Structure 1
Amino acid sequence: MTVISDQEIADFSADFNTNSKNQVASRAARRSGLLEASFNDRVSERLNHVFSTELDVGGVTDQKHSGRCWEFATLNVLRHYFGKQNKVKDFTFSQAYNFFWDKIERANAFYDAMIRLADKPLNDREVQSWLAFAGEDGGLWSMAINLVKKYGVVPSYAMPESFNSNNTTGLIDSLARKERKDAIALRKLVSEGSSQDEIEKAKKHFLNEVYRMVSVALGEPPKKFDLEYRDDDKKYHLERDLTPREFVQKYFKDFKFDDYVVLSNCPNHEFNKLYHMPLYDNVDGGDQIKFLNVPIEYLAQAAVAQLKSGDAVIFGNDVLKQMERKTGYLDTELYQTDKLFGVDTKMSKADRLATGEGFATHDMTLVGVDEDHGHIRKWKVENSWGDKFGHKGFYEMSQPWFEDYVYDVVVRKEFLTKEQVELAEGLAVDLKPWDNIG
């Protein structure tokens, strides 16, 4: 390690004071904050709430203080489908219901992993990845669909939001602590040569305790409910005693869940390959969590085609980069901090992923696009942060932001090339839990 000398510090100070603009920038930044001082209000000229293709989707939802964006985005797509089929665009589904089952299924997957990896030391990188993932509430479209396929869905009134679904910190912290302790016990049983029956008995006991914890926090999910609503034509509908699975089987019988593919754009991994993330396989017996990695232009093309067909598009993105909640702007030129500091921090997408600077932190839904003779100008985004932010809860995203900070889109196979369909239906390459694929 090289010591910073007094002379070097004096040189740094002299360099800073050589340019009087540095003092001006410092006063502005100290007074208003770095982001406000570097805010570029000219982006409003191109993010103007007008779109050449726009879905009629009603109001937005609000995930509050939780990491359930993936469930909100998935259920937004399903509610838009249900609304279009049944002429009731503001009908909503219960995120708390699917969140309940996610906690049970994810605990089961965690315990299975701890048993499978019991012969590895605690500081093994794969074991540590699972331990770090314990209790988490973040997830992906394919994980949400696994839950919908197994447990169905219910209207929001059948299992409404509660304090703990809106504010998940207490629950996920408690679950993580319990599951990590249980991991020690399961590993000990394996190391002592306990029988498979003894290990499974312990696992079932732990799962029973997890079910109790989640039921205390969220309430037990309904086994049946009455479907009741008034459609957009004011016609009244009532269907009694539906189970959550029956509801999906009846009202989503033409929604081809298996026709959807996750197209990813992660240039730190080889393109035109199908990848599998075992860490995210949340339901035993469910679909594997896979991504088809392709250049960014294919994500944009498929998303536009799906929007023009009348259907919304879920996309994973790094929402906290170059975004302002108040205006709902997503633009690469929104905060010009490099100009404020007089530095260059621009990195390629591949380098951002490779260094941990880039990561998909949020799921949202594309519900509109603005084109000029095939050139994409901007996108309309449905967020799940309530209607107090953006334009009544909707955000505007520039195409450069899409290219830089969008990591995946969920689209139907019909909007892929023939070669991509073949890849998506082929064998996948398993990734390590620590591989950053957006």
Structure 2
Amino acid sequence: MLALCRTNVLRLKVINKYKLEEFELSQSYLFFWDKLEKANFFLEKMIDLADRDVDDRDVQYLLSRPVDDGGQWDMFVNLVTKHGLVPKSVYPESHSSGASSRLNWIVKVKLREFAVRIRAEYAAGARGGHLRSQKEAMMTEIYRILAITLGEPPKTFDWATRDKNGKYIEVKGMTPKKFAEEVVGYPITETLSLINDPRNTYSRLYTVEHLGNIVGGNPVRYVNTEIATMKQLAVTVLESGRPVWFGADVGQFR
């Protein structure tokens, strides 16, 4: 799940800010919007690439994994910036968020079906405006699938808790975006991912074509950094009392 470890970086901010014993952000909330946004991102790519042969490598890559779980830091930034955050108590885990393989299969099948329809309409002469109106109907169907399996995300909510000393804390009439900005208050748009890729020049910004989750959102960005510098920065952040999010190629060690 894209939000699984990333929300831990943000929840510590809330725990320290309000002196709480425990607190969790809803991973399921971001999971819902990540699936919906990735579906829209995929369909937009299918429209953009409709003039290419179905065996084109980019088309085949996108068809092979239209809505995978997981993702990159900038995808998380995009979700929080657009959709905000909610506490886990407001939008808890469900069976389909905890065991997502069946839901992923259903959405993938529908998106591949929609991709076939988009390509057929393009071959018949349809172009941007008509194809995007068709896409909106397709997205309504994807939203319905997600709402049935995960539940509809809240538009507004109240949240209450007690700090370590028993002091009562309550916020009312919150929207997810307001909660992210005012209660969590993590400067998420000021962050970037560091990578170590010795094949490419260091101290440069890189991205990956066709990788993303929100149309019009930030591209996935990486600053290529020497490993010694990366280690020192991680130590500096940890010594300041802040968590460090990291990704690793764990498949290499299985």
TM-based fold match above 0.5: yes
Question: What's the TM-score once normalised by structure 2's chain length?
Answer: 0.95
What residue in structure 1 maps to residue 171 of structure 2?
239
Q: Deviations over 1:87-133 (max 9, x none)?
A: 11410011000000011111111011001111111111111111112
Which secondary structure does the structure 2 equivalent of 1:136 belong to? coil
Match of 1:204 among 113, 136, 144: 136
What residue in structure 2 maps to residue 273 of structure 1?
204
1:134-283 mapped onto 2 (5 Å cutoff): 134-253=66-185, 255-283=186-214
Match of 1:294 among 208, 213, 225: 225
What residue in structure 2 maps to residue 346 of structure 1?
none
Post-superposition shift, 1:231?
1.0
Mark the structure with the bigger radius of gyration: 1
1:47-196 mapped onto 2 (5 Å cutoff): 68=1, 70-196=2-128
Equivalent position amino acid for 2:138 in 1: F
What residue in structure 2 maps to residue 319 of structure 1?
250
Post-superposition shift, 1:282?
1.0
Which secondary structure does the structure 2 equivalent of 1:316 belong to? coil
Higher percent of residues as strand? 1
What residue in structure 1 maps to residue 234 of structure 2?
303
Which secondary structure does the structure 1 equivalent of 2:245 belong to? strand
Q: Deviations over 1:291-343 (max 9, x none)?
A: 111221111111111111211010001235547xxxxxxxxxxxxxxxxxxxx
1:225–1:241 contact (8 Å) kept in structure 2:
yes
2:77–2:189 contact (8 Å) kept in structure 1:
no
1:90 and 1:319, CA in 2 relative to 1: closer, same or farther beyond 3 A? farther
Q: Deviations over 1:376-422 (max 9, x none)?
A: xxxxxxxxxxxxxxxxxxxxxxxxxxxxxxxxxxxxxxxxxxxxxxx
Kindly indicate whether structure 1 or structure 2 has the higher relative contact order, using CA contacts under 8 Å at least 6 residues apart: 2
Distance 2:6 2:228 in 1: 23
| Range with greater deviation from structure 2 (259-268 or 165-174) | 259-268
Distance 1:322 1:103 in 2: 29
Percent identity reads 35
1:338-353 mapped onto 2 (5 Å cutoff): none
What residue in structure 2 maps to residue 396 of structure 1?
none
1:80–1:89 contact (8 Å) kept in structure 2:
no
Match of 1:285 among 207, 213, 216: 216
Post-superposition shift, 1:274?
1.2
Distance 1:292 1:319 in 2: 21
Distance 1:125 1:320 in 2: 24
Distance 1:237 1:71 in 2: 25
Distance 2:50 2:108 in 1: 18
2:15–2:23 contact (8 Å) kept in structure 1:
yes
Post-superposition shift, 1:173?
0.8
Unaligned runs of 5+ in 2: none
Which secondary structure does the structure 1 equivalent of 2:86 belong to? coil
Which secondary structure does the structure 2 equivalent of 1:317 belong to? coil
1:225–1:240 contact (8 Å) kept in structure 2:
yes
Distance 1:89 1:190 in 2: 56
Distance 1:130 1:100 in 2: 20
2:75–2:220 contact (8 Å) kept in structure 1:
yes
Which secondary structure does the structure 2 equivalent of 1:279 belong to? coil
Question: What's the TM-score once normalised by structure 1's chain length?
Answer: 0.56
1:89 and 1:76, CA in 2 relative to 1: closer, same or farther beyond 3 A? farther
Which secondary structure does the structure 2 equivalent of 1:278 belong to? coil
2:47–2:128 contact (8 Å) kept in structure 1:
no
Unaligned runs of 5+ in 1: 1-67, 324-438
Distance 1:196 1:132 in 2: 24
Post-superposition shift, 1:273?
2.2
Post-superposition shift, 1:195?
4.2
What residue in structure 2 maps to residue 49 of structure 1?
none
1:71–1:141 contact (8 Å) kept in structure 2:
no
| Range with greater deviation from structure 2 (168-177 or 266-275) | 266-275
Distance 2:241 2:97 in 1: 31
